[in-house]
Amino acid sequence: MRKPFVAGNWKMHGSKASILSLVTDLNSKISELGNVDVAVCPPAIYADFTKRTLSSERISVGAQNMASEPVQGAFTGEVSVEMLKDMGCEYVILGHSERRSIYGETDVEVAAKVKVALDAGVTPILCVGETLEERESGTMEQVIAAQLDAVLTVVGISGFNNTVIAYEPVWAIGTGVTASPEQAQEVHAFIRNKLAQLDATVADRVIIQYGGSVKPGNAKELFGQADIDGGLIGGASLDAEDFIAICKAAG
Ligand code: PEP
């Protein structure tokens, strides 16, 4: 049985004051959490502050991106995986569609980062998903397969023993438009079946989150689908009450 996992992607939001307020609210509700793993992913510069403000290890901390260089060096502006670990991060979101579309990260670059994270013992949350144009032109499965294949080429199927996948249809991120539970389940099953062709055990165990305008009102139905194992939550993760409600819908 897979244990559901819900992660909050705070994106480029927050200040020490607002994070203190959000985490204080989360702390007051941690005891309400059931059978679900939970993480929050603040901007990297606030990871340590977030970790120290959380009252319990019950909520883990993750980052939203990292350098593709495995060791420290002359890479101005970058943050290494070891630095993330040092600041208490157990997870790192990689290949988020905003990284891919705004910063031009390619499938190959994302795959390289997945390997660096795995080698360092930080769990990647690998985002995959199609744009509306890709869905409408019928290339959705090819796009997602290519995103997965790039990672498989570098880390093999065994890399997915320690990788979380987040299916995030780009057209549903931050738009208020959610994939229907059936639409999401169809893609989740496609992803799991694709991995099962290489290793059925790995495929059966891998956590596949859904992300894209998940709210307390739609979470239960989405998470009730056979291949949806929790969610990657953007906007709603900035509100403690909404985020905890979504976590409770998962487990
Ligand atoms: C995200 O950015 O990963 C995301 C799912 O955002 P939202 O929940 O706001 O659509």
Give per-residue pLDDT as tens, 181-194: 999 999 999 999 99
Q: Are strands 37-41 and 231-233 parallel, antiparallel or unpaired?
A: unpaired
CA atoms within 13 A on the CB side of 173: 25
pLDDT one digit per residue (tens) for the chain, 251 residues: 899 999 999 999 999 999 999 999 999 999 999 999 999 999 999 999 999 999 999 999 999 999 999 999 999 999 999 999 999 999 999 999 999 999 999 999 999 999 999 999 999 999 999 999 999 999 999 999 999 999 999 999 999 999 999 999 999 998 998 999 999 999 999 999 999 999 999 999 999 999 999 999 999 999 999 999 999 999 999 999 999 999 999 99
Return the CATH number at 108.
3.20.20.70
Q: Are 140 and 130 in contact (CB under 8 A)?
A: yes
Q: Are 184 and 222 in contact (CB under 8 A)?
A: yes
Ligand 1: which of 102, 132, 228, 232 to mutate, most ligand atoms within 8 Å of CB?
Answer: 232
Residue with CA nearest ligand 1 atom 4:
234
Residues at CB less than 6 angstroms from ligand 1: 9, 168, 173-174, 211-214, 232-236
The minimum-distance atom of ligand 1 relative to the CA of 96 is: 3
- State the CB neighbour count (10 A cutoff) for residue 223: 24
Q: How many domains does the chain have?
A: 1
Please give the Cα distance from 145 to 153 (Å, whole number): 12
Torsion of CA 90, 210, 185, 195, to 10 degrees: -30
Residue with CA nearest ligand 1 atom 6:
234
Residue 106 belongs to what domain range? 5-250
The minimum-distance atom of ligand 1 relative to the CA of 9 is: 3
- Percent with pLDDT over 70 in the chain: 100
Q: What is the pTM of this model?
A: 0.98
Between the CA of 73 and the centroid of ligand 1 the distance, in Å, is 32
Between the CA of 3 and the centroid of ligand 1 the distance, in Å, is 21
- Rounded to the nearest integer, the mean pLDDT of the chain is 97
Give the pLDDT of residue 1: 85
Between the CA of 237 and the centroid of ligand 1 the distance, in Å, is 9
Residue with CA nearest ligand 1 atom 3:
234
pLDDT in tens, 214-248: 999 999 999 999 999 999 999 999 999 999 999 99
Residue with CA nearest ligand 1 atom 2:
234
Active-site positions read 96, 168
- State the CB neighbour count (10 A cutoff) for residue 197: 9
